[in-house]
Amino acid sequence: MSDSLREQYLRFFSRHGHAIVPSSPLRPENDPTTLFTGSGMQPMLPYFLGETHPLGKRITDSQKSFRTQDIEEVGDNRHTTFFEMLGNWSFGDYFKHEQIAWMWEFLTQELHIDPQRLFFTCFRGNKDLNIPRDTESAELWKKHFSEVGIDAKIIDFSERDGMQGGKIFYYDEKKNWWSRVGAPAHMPVGEPGGPDTEMFFDFRPDLGESCIPGTPFSGKFCHVNCDCGRFMEIGNNVFMQYRKTVEGFEELAQKNVDFGGGLERLMAASLNNPDIFATDLFENARKTLALLSGKQYGENEHETYAYRVVLDHIRAAVFLIGDGIIPSNKDQGYFVRRLLRRAVRFGDTLGIENNFTVQVGEAFITTYASAYPNLALESASIVAELLREEVKFRKTLEVGLKEFQKLSGDIISGTDAFILFSSYGFPIEITEELAKESGKSVDTAAFQEELQHHQELSRTASAGKFKGGLADQSEKVTAFHTATHLMLAGLRQELGKNVHQAGSNITDERTRFDFTFPEKVSREILDRVEAYVNKAIDSGAQVKSTIMEKDGARVAGVEGSFWEKYPEKVTVYQVEGPDGMVYSQELCGGPHVKTMADIARFGRFQIQKEEACSAGVRRIKAVFTAS
């Protein structure tokens, strides 16, 4: 059923001239601003800013997304860490009129949702920001309602007066504005964003203007953004048309549409059941869990909560591992570890004492195999990682619990929590949950301090050990990125094949590049490296990317560090001169310029500085200078 909803959505937009593109990986490529892909929009950012998408101005997809901030919310009927976001995009092509008409048609004709159940919100405008009220969207929704005989009232929402029989509500920029970092006040200069119009489904029209009784949120009046559970947001149409400037906002060169709607939520609305864990996406895994635990989903509140945490966390871990993120103690890997360890702990609540994440994981792989074939391809390694992590955790859990029981006093100190974390593998939430069960609390602030201190130490030890640190995807940053590949090739030619990248950080002012080499590099050598880069630029070489088998690429001498992080098939960028000379050949996710002319316009490449970075690692700063 969910498979067909996903299909139906993609086909609907394909009929309206959109090219269907596959989901990007959960680990963003060359976007240092975030650890995970958390919305369909993230991988599309360059195209809002004017870059040409190879498949045109109308794109649709179902994007795998993971939001770490939702981890604490999992357990109710609608929050998940992992979700699929159905998306459609206009890169300076159609705008509000078409988008709203298509959404109306999709919801009411394709999903057969009763318009009486639908509610919409629009941006009320803000004079200080000089951004007008979005009356156009409100009027468009109203027109569609009237075509089915509903006289939809448009209301300026206020908590005090409630919904007043309205169907369309204006809210301020805290609700009806979207950017990667939220409301206008949080946006850094340069960040794109815009007003949005959101779509809601009412699960309890019988309640009039009231909340679901007995929920902690039930106030005097319910409203679409209320947390009582009566309404669910099922999609968000963002009109990405502004960019933050020092003074306020300016219009982008093109007007874009960014629609995102959670697949499970749309499914929940079309089934008129607010529990997304009851959808078919979780069915296989639910059955497996029932067999393993002997408990049925939905029987009692406490166990239902545990069921949801286990289902959500294992599903997310399966997708993350499928994208090459394996459990570890830092960065992205740490989230996978937390998810799995929490899942094991909540498995306890369901009375499961033996290893079980593999069976549940396999159930998810079966469910998603046709929509995400890479899960089937990677199933052996996914299963191996689940098992390894669970076995490891169960071993330490036993010892750790003993340690935990030895702790006296009502407050667990930051140091003790850190020891439980670093020596016994207890993510902080587990310590907190155990503490709560025994009526204690944890000094989490002190724990965070310890953690930070520890991370700083380990960061110094592995200075700059990250890849793809591009500040943005502007032309100049991209030119620096390609030039950095050439520089590494030059360094390897001069200093030997033991030189590898240890980190990079590229802005539109300079490239900062860390590489493995034990001693100072002389100015003569730096001059030769510089000359190598400029010769490549002058040669008029082209940049080509090819997909290769990982092993084949390695044997062919393609340069790369962190090989183990890459999937079996890798993208190799090659800079090749008109005479066939290969200046650089390196594993990378892009983006890169197409021809050397795209670099030459910024001037000559110049290495300004070379210095020690950490033991065995050197750091170079290079710029473009006017020639």
- Listed ranges 37-45, 364-372, 384-392, 494-502: which one lies at the site for ligand SER (CB under 6 A): 37-45
User: Smallest distance from the beta carbon of 164 to ligand SER, in angstroms?
Assistant: 27
Instruction: Based on the shown chain and the rule CB under 6 A, indicate whether residue 39 belongs to the binding site for ligand SER.
Output: yes
Instruction: Based on the shown chain and the rule CB under 6 A, indicate whether residue 193 belongs to the binding site for ligand SER.
Output: no
Q: Within the chain, what is the greatest distance between any pair of CA atoms? A: 81
User: Smallest distance from the beta carbon of 203 to ligand SER, in angstroms?
Assistant: 20
Which of residues 260 and 503 has its CB atom nearest to ligand SER in the complex?
260
Helix orientation angle between 444-461 and 428-437, rounded to the nearest 10 degrees? 160
Kindly report the CA angle at 400 between 396 and 403, in degrees rounded to 5?
A: 150
Closest by CA position to 562, among listed 428, 429, 467, 496: 467
Distance of alpha carbon 603 from its chain centroid, rounded? Answer: 35
Question: What does the DSSP 8-state code read for residue 559?
Answer: B
Tokens of 539: 């040669």
User: Smallest distance from the beta carbon of 623 to ligand SER, in angstroms?
Assistant: 35
Tokens of 347: 């498995």
Query: Whole-angstrom Cα distance, residue 63 to residue 494?
Result: 43
Which of residues 199 and 363 has its CB atom nearest to ligand SER in the complex?
199
- Yes or no: say if 62 and 23 are a contact pair by the CB < 8 Å rule: yes
Tokens of 239: 């009109």
- Listed ranges 135-143, 152-160, 252-260, 595-603: which one lies at the site for ligand SER (CB under 6 A): 252-260
- What residues form DSSP beta bridges with 259? 88, 237
Q: Which of 134, 258, 416, 586 binds ligand SER (CB under 6 A)?
A: 258
Number of residues that bind ligand SER (CB under 6 A): 10
User: Smallest distance from the beta carbon of 235 to ligand SER, in angstroms?
Assistant: 8
Residue with tokens 């020891």: 419
Instruction: Based on the shown chain and the rule CB under 6 A, indicate whether residue 41 belongs to the binding site for ligand SER.
Output: yes
Which of residues 168 and 199 has its CB atom nearest to ligand SER in the complex?
199
User: Smallest distance from the beta carbon of 43 to ligand SER, in angstroms?
Assistant: 11
In the complex, residue closest to ligand SER by CB: 260
Residue with tokens 């963003």: 28
Report the site for ligand SER in 159-188 (rule: CB under 6 A): 178
Instruction: Based on the shown chain and the rule CB under 6 A, indicate whether residue 238 belongs to the binding site for ligand SER.
Output: yes
Instruction: Based on the shown chain and the rule CB under 6 A, indicate whether residue 87 belongs to the binding site for ligand SER.
Output: yes
- What residues form DSSP beta bridges with 618? 515, 612
Kindly report the CA angle at 42 between 38 and 47, in degrees rounded to 5?
A: 165
Instruction: Based on the shown chain and the rule CB under 6 A, indicate whether residue 276 belongs to the binding site for ligand SER.
Output: no
Closest by CA position to 276, among listed 224, 203, 205, 219: 203
Residue with tokens 């965070």: 448
Q: Which of 13, 23, 37, 40 binds ligand SER (CB under 6 A)?
A: 40
Instruction: Based on the shown chain and the rule CB under 6 A, indicate whether residue 60 belongs to the binding site for ligand SER.
Output: no
User: Smallest distance from the beta carbon of 59 to ligand SER, in angstroms?
Assistant: 12
Q: Which of 260, 347, 425, 589 binds ligand SER (CB under 6 A)?
A: 260
Where on the chain is the footprint of ligand SER (CB under 6 A)?
A: 39-41, 87, 178, 236, 238, 258-260
